[in-house]
A and B are shown apart, each in its own frame.
Chain A
Amino acid sequence: MAAPNLKAEKRTRQRYRRERRFKALCVGAILLSVAFLVFFFTDIIQRGYTAFYQAEVRAEVTYSERTVDLPPAAVDDEVRPFVSRGWLRQLPDHVEADPDLMGQTVTRWITADAPVGQYLKGQYSELTEQEKAEVDRLREQGQIRLAFNTNFFTNGDSKMAEIAGIKSAVVGSVLTLAVTMAVAFPIGVMSAVYLEEFAPDNRFTRFIEVNINNLAAVPSILYGLLGLAIFINFVGVPRSSALAGGLTLALMTLPIIIISTRAALRAVPDSIREGAFGVGASRLQVVSHHVLPQSLPGILTGSIIGLAQAMGETAPLLLVGMMAFIPSAPEGVTDAATVLPAQIYTWASMPQRAFDEITAAGILVLLAVLLTLNATAVVLRKRFERRW
């Protein structure tokens, strides 16, 4: 064996080693991303799932003139320290909603104060040792229990974590996104149809194209500045309203819808258009009878993705005032409203520890909706996508 051969062999081995090292690096990068994803979901679920059940106290509630004026008097001394003050404060509303309650004494499960729930769930709680012993005793007697947290789904925002819920934020989100899609979907599809099917290839068209690509990359917070300066200060749309937020998000979603609609239109082969032209259809008939129906799944997929993105957006909405404290659901698009991500932001900045849990629970709800939307888009694309 001559020396050069040995050298070459050594060099080959070295190159293979480098190859393995590089591949390991690539695999490492992927594993890192996936590991982060797993860590992230475990962390959020761990923080949030406990918010779906909460402590309740079984108590005799007296509804009378006196207790409407002074709600804490409605329950016994024994359980009073453990009953949610927020729940007691709602007592006059209960009587107003159901006047028959007046003068009655009802034994029922009522929401417990947040520290009781935290203690029962084994979290940090500000209860004293004595109170903890008392809670344990009541629990053994069946006076205190952990039950499904309905408040979280049926209530609006509150300064007290145990009775704060996502209902008004969900309603706000639905109203806002309805405005967004009502504006962005038709305008987006029409823009795309014009650019793809009608527009001549001239300077103006190219300018619009560059412009749309740029808009897609403009930071979302700048749309908030636009919404504030134009929709609220100039046009006079009510601040904090679903209309202001929805219009702002519509402008932000527009480029996404245009870009995906154009891709869907481009995927329809020219032979379809030529066939239709051949039997005497006008351009409008070609588009509305043939091209649009064929590309509908693609357009819908793109719009759902745009919708999901608008749904998770927070920054521009903060600027148009959609982080207001909204205890009851808005009734129209001009009422003050908040949306789910903004609600999450508001809760995340609350100092009380009990809010951590419901913040994470709100995040779980938001993520569930977003993942469902995105999965729908994927299924739609898989099922209806046509290869020509």
Chain B
Amino acid sequence: MSTGQVILSFLAGLLPLALLAYGLGRRRALAVAGGQDRALHSRPGFYGWYAVVLMAVPAVAMALLATLLDLLGLIDAPGALVLAAALALAAGGLWSAERTIRPGLRARNIVEGAVRWLLIAAASISILTTLGILLSILFEAMRFFQMVSAWEFLTGTTWSPDTAFGGGSEARSEAQFGSVPLFAGTFMITAIAMAVALPIGLLSAIFLSEYAPQRVRGAVKPALEVLAGIPTVVYGFFAAITVAPLIVDAASALGLDASYENALTPGIVMGIMIIPLVSSLSDDVISAIPMSLREGSFALGATPSETIKHVLLPAALPGVVSAFILAISRALGETMIVVMAAGLSANLTANPLESMTTVTVRIVAALTGDQEFSSPETLSAFGLGLVLFLITLTLNTISLIVVRRFREQYE
């Protein structure tokens, strides 16, 4: 039996057992109290839960420990054995619960304590996730940096991993992993996306919070939310099949030569995708500014636009800046649009009409190819992922700090 099957059959077996334990514990409590639940310290149900806790906790803990040790390769635990041991522990737990139940037992306190630990464990999973992302990427990235020097990776201007394909030592020496063109492409497309999303998103937010009558607001806001709900793969298809030809036509009408995989297409479409993010965050911030600031400005004779430019925007600036930073971080990590509409080969250029590639495109290309996992090309995905993670983490943290530190407190 594989570990997965063991876990599944374990969970499947645990549920009816828990029901049984609950019933037995509850009945036992009523029995020792002589049928009068007033004689019990806790309500009868808690004794049921008490039996469940005593049955499940040791069994689950043992199974988890065995699985973990097995995965780490420290012990070799056959699935059937683990299952049998867990069942034995469960039976033992149930038996001891039956024995210990008496009217004075503080079942409620014990159950509450157990639930608290369960909740703490659930809350810790988010920390484990972060740790998991960091460690898994770091671990594989280290393997990559053993093959390719970090300096070459960060400063090299040629990305051509394909020559590593042959696997021969001569061919491998030709593979180059200079990530500069990838990051240049990523930042170029992000910049284009921001040039679209920032003005449109901010102006939309201003319109929605300051100018729009309630009815218009009620109709337009959901429309923007629809924009946010469209999956990125759909944007990617739309970019590649509809927008790219439009851009190429427009460019040739202007006498320019554009590639079908130009950077402008994914940039613009990504910008449209991010509009709702910018507008809803900015809208929240602007709406949170108290009415008295507006009234004060109007009382001095300012027009609405003057009020917006000189009073509201400065007051909303921290929130708006943090929204912008979040939007940039979102654009940097966006994958499907660029995978489908941007180029695949690294190209260091400042011309947005040329084909260029991004970090995320190369990650997908490296991991969906047919190379073995330990090849430098596959592992390069983790090196790129590490840098991407650090950049977005920094941006998110800055965005949080900006809001915390510069937020105006209105009373």
Contacts and interface: CB of A to CB of B under 8 A. Distances in A.
Given A36-B272, A187-B125, A225-B385, A210 B130 contact: no
B203 interface: yes
A19 B130 contact: no
Given A26-B207, A208-B126, A211-B130, A225 B238 contact: no
A8 to B, nearest CB: 11
B176 to A, nearest CB: 22
Given A22-B305, A213-B400, A315-B360, A33 B227 contact: yes
A44 B208 CA distance: 28
Interface in A193-248: 193-195, 198-199, 207-208, 210-215, 217-226, 228-230, 233-238, 243
A363 B385 CA distance: 29
Nearest to B303: A19
B163 interface: no
Given A19-B303, A219-B388, A348-B236, A29 B122 contact: no
Interface stretch (B94-102, B147-155, B218-226, B254-262): B218-226
Contact of A348 (B108, B119, B124, B237): B237
Nearest to A370: B229
B120 A27 contact: no
A359 interface: yes
Contact of B335 (A195, A220, A229): A220
Interface string A20-42: 00110111111011101100100
Tell me the interface secondary structure of chain B in the complex: helix
A190 B123 contact: yes
Interface in B1-19: 2-4
A50 to B, nearest CB: 15
Contacts of A43: 238, 242
Interface stretch (A121-129, A143-151, A251-259, A294-302): A251-259
B231, B240, B304: most-surrounded residue (chain A CB, <10 A):
B231
Contact of B126 (A215, A342, A345, A370): A215
Interface residues of B, number: 91
Interface residues of A, number: 92
B335 A219 contact: yes
Contact of A32 (B136, B200, B211, B367): B200
B46 to A, nearest CB: 9
B396 interface: yes
Nearest to B126: A212
Interface in B133-191: 133, 136-137, 139-140
Contacts of A195: 123
Nearest to A38: B223
Contacts of B330: 217, 219
Interface stretch (A81-89, A265-273, A306-314): A306-314
B123 A225 contact: no
A106 interface: no
A217 B129 contact: no
Nearest to B237: A348
Contacts of A34: 220, 223
B130 A230 contact: no
B364 A23 contact: no
Interface string B296-326: 0000000111101100000000000000001
13 contacts: A33-B200, A33-B279, A37-B227, A198-B119, A208-B123, A211-B127, A217-B326, A218-B392, A222-B388, A234-B136, A311-B231, A312-B233, A374-B226
A356 interface: yes
Contacts of A219: 329-330, 332-335, 360, 388-389, 392
A371 B226 contact: yes
Given A36-B272, A229-B136, A356-B241, A23 B211 contact: yes
A367 B230 contact: yes
B82 interface: no
A30 B236 contact: no
Interface string A167-197: 0000000000000000000110011011100
Given A194-B120, A211-B130, A344 B233 contact: yes
B229 A312 contact: yes
B108 A345 contact: no
A283 interface: yes
B130 A235 contact: no
A23 B363 contact: no
A345 B336 CA distance: 9
B229 A15 contact: no
A380 to B, nearest CB: 15
Interface stretch (B52-60, B83-91, B109-117): B109-117
A208 B127 CA distance: 7
A323 B367 CA distance: 12
Contacts of B356: none
A197 to B, nearest CB: 9
Interface in B230-271: 230-234, 236-238, 240-242
B36 interface: no
Interface in A285-332: 308, 311-315, 318-319, 321, 323
A366 interface: yes
B349 interface: no
Contact of A233 (B123, B200, B272, B373): B373
A314 B136 contact: no
A40 B238 contact: yes
Contact of A225 (B71, B125, B136): B136
B125 A191 contact: yes
B206 interface: yes
Contacts of B388: 219, 221-222
Contacts of B118: 190
A22 B308 CA distance: 10
B136 A30 contact: no
